[in-house]
């Protein structure tokens, strides 16, 4: 099925009812052949209702939604599809309050839907190591200064205090993908392990002068800009790409989500990295991409469990 919509109106025209949505979900999910979500067996029988299936091996009944982020939902798929569209099409995402108004569900439902979709956007395709020229930087979210943009000149002082703020590390391949994740601290071991886990050894590494990065010289062609000396670009050495990503993320967190708890910060980072990494796709291609990644459910209990 070819998708060409460029607006929410065209999305609704493409998916006018539950049946067309189910058909599309089936195609997205079973693009490489049907299988049982319980045991993986590839011989399944369709019931005549067009909604339910039975596995020839384990004999269990299931719908196409079982094992996806849409499992156990009473929300019509058309509303889910609108949520996927709104989340992927808006550069800074959408708040649960706004989504609840746009698709007429409660805010609690909208909140849960958005977290499930963020969970789906954590695709394996973006977990490949970064290479070539990679900018690495850390930033700090939350705390008293959460409404301020980071002032690089405070580095090494209160700016890196992780008592009240959450440290986030980001890495971006120039012209390629970004990765970002929370870290429990920004000490040598943590910083180095995070970079080594995600950036191919031998790549060009661009950072500022924060000392844990200097320890990576034996693995990478490392260049640092000296922000403390007022230097922001030196030849190809700069961290402007990753800083642009931080600034978009922070404007979104403050402007759209207002407050992000530490517990959910990684999911918001996933949402932002997903949009960044699919920036060259059309809106309908990005919609399809997220739909193809809808496997893996996230229960309400998992979502609301206290952070360890």
Q: Which of 162, 253, 237 is nearest to 205 (CA)?
A: 237
Judged by CB under 5 A, does residue 54 bind Zn ion?
A: no
Which residue in 41, 92, 227, 264 binds Zn ion (CB under 5 A)?
A: 41
Question: What residues form DSSP beta bridges with 167?
Answer: 140, 183
Judged by CB under 5 A, does residue 206 bind Zn ion?
A: no
- Asked whether 75 and 109 are in contact (CB, 8 A), the reply is yes
Judged by CB under 5 A, does residue 250 bind Zn ion?
A: no
What length does the chain have?
A: 308
Question: Near Zn ion by CB under 5 A, which window of 3-11, 51-59, 80-88, 291-299?
Answer: 51-59
Question: What residues form DSSP beta bridges with 208?
Answer: 225
> How far is Cα 74 from Cα 17, in angstroms, rounded to an integer?
15
Question: What residues form DSSP beta bridges with 45?
Answer: 54
Which helix or strand (DSSP H or E) is residue 286 part of? helix 283-292
Torsion over CA: 130, 172, 195, 255 (sign): negative
Query: Which CB atom, from 66 or from 256, has the smaller least distance to Zn ion?
Result: 66
Query: Which CB atom, from 38 or from 174, has the smaller least distance to Zn ion?
Result: 38
Query: Which CB atom, from 52 or from 182, has the smaller least distance to Zn ion?
Result: 52
Which residue in 21, 25, 36, 84 binds Zn ion (CB under 5 A)?
A: 36
Number of residues that bind Zn ion (CB under 5 A): 7
Query: Which CB atom, from 30 or from 300, has the smaller least distance to Zn ion?
Result: 30
- Asked whether 226 and 243 are in contact (CB, 8 A), the reply is no
Q: Shortest gap between Cβ of 140 and Zn ion (angstroms)?
A: 47
Which residue in 8, 38, 145, 231 binds Zn ion (CB under 5 A)?
A: 38
Judged by CB under 5 A, does residue 120 bind Zn ion?
A: no
Judged by CB under 5 A, does residue 39 bind Zn ion?
A: yes
CA-to-CA separations, 101 to 94, 229, 257, in angstroms, rounded: 11, 49, 15
Query: Which CB atom, from 56 or from 285, has the smaller least distance to Zn ion?
Result: 56
Place of tokens 């919509």: 5
Query: Which CB atom, from 38 or from 131, has the smaller least distance to Zn ion?
Result: 38
Question: Near Zn ion by CB under 5 A, which window of 52-60, 97-105, 178-186, 237-245?
Answer: 52-60
Eight-class DSSP state of 306: P
Judged by CB under 5 A, does residue 125 bind Zn ion?
A: no
Query: Which CB atom, from 39 or from 201, has the smaller least distance to Zn ion?
Result: 39
Binding to Zn ion, residues 55-84 (CB under 5 A): 55, 57-58
Judged by CB under 5 A, does residue 37 bind Zn ion?
A: no
> How far is Cα 266 from Cα 273, in angstroms, rounded to an integer?
10
Q: Which of 280, 285, 264, 288 is nearest to 115 (CA)?
A: 264
**Interface positions with Zn ion (CB under 5 A):** 36, 38-39, 41, 55, 57-58
């Amino acid at each position: 099925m070819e998708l060409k919509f460029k607006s929410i109106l065209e999305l609704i025209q493409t998916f006018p009812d539950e049946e067309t949505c189910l058909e599309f979900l089936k195609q997205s999910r079973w693009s490489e052949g049907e299988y049982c979500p319980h045991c993986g067996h590839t011989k399944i029988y369709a019931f005549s209702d067009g909604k339910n299936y039975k596995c020839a091996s384990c004999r269990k009944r299931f719908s196409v939604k079982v094992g996806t982020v849409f499992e156990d939902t009473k929300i019509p798929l058309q509303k889910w599809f609108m949520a996927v569209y709104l989340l992927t099409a808006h550069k800074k995402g959408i708040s649960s309050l706004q989504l609840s108004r746009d698709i007429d569900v409660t805010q609690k439902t909208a909140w849960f839907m958005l977290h499930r979709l963020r969970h789906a956007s954590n695709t394996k395709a973006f977990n490949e190591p970064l290479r070539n020229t990679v900018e690495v930087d850390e930033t700090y979210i939350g705390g008293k200064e959460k409404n301020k943009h980071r002032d690089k000149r405070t580095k090494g002082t209160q700016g890196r205090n992780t008592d009240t703020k959450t440290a986030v590390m980001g890495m971006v391949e120039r012209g390629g993908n970004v990765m970002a994740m929370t870290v429990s601290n920004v000490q040598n071991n943590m910083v180095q392990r995070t970079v080594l886990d995600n950036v191919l050894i031998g790549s060009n590494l661009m950072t500022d002068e924060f000392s844990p990065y200097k320890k990576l010289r034996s693995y990478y062609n490392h260049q640092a800009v000296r922000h403390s000396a007022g230097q922001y670009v030196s030849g190809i050495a700069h961290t402007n790409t990753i800083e642009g990503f931080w600034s978009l993320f922070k404007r979104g967190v403050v402007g759209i989500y207002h407050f992000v708890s530490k517990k959910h910060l990684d999911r918001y980072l996933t949402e932002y990295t997903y949009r960044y990494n699919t920036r060259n796709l059309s809106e309908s291609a990005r919609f399809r991409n997220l739909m193809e990644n809808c496997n893996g459910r996230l229960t309400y209990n998992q979502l609301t469990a206290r952070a360890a």
